[in-house]
Every structure is written in structure tokens, then in C-alpha cells.
Amino acid sequence: MDYKAAGAPKLGKNAPKHVEHNAVGSKKKPFGTRPSKEELLARMKAAAEAAKSEK
């Protein structure tokens, strides 16, 4: 059998296969908004400081 002529493979849709259960704006976080970049950087720096002082 010539499997080469069986047909072209399906291309990817470039989309996730499922929805996250705790996505921003979902039932678990209905009023949640994405944190701004400044808030995120501040949180990351605080976590880095905490990890550094822990050592």
C-alpha cells in the first residue's frame, strides 16, 4: 500500500487544546484582572530578595 498518497497531514490550529481552570476572568477568578507589568516585576523582585535572604 502506498501510504505516501494517503493524504496530507492536518495542520495545527495554533490554539490551546483546553481552557485553563483558573484563567483570568473565569468562574474561579471572575473579577480578576491581569496584573500590570510593574506589579509583576515588583512581585518577582520581592520573591528574588526573599530567596536571596533565605540562603
**pTM strictly above 0.85:** no
pLDDT in tens, 6-54: 777 777 778 777 877 777 777 776 676 777 899 999 999 999 999 999 8
Contact 42, 49 (CB under 8 A): no
- For residue 30, what are the CA distances in angstroms to 3, 20, 25, 37? 50, 13, 5, 21
Among 11, 10, 14, 30, residue whose Cα is nearest residue 22: 30
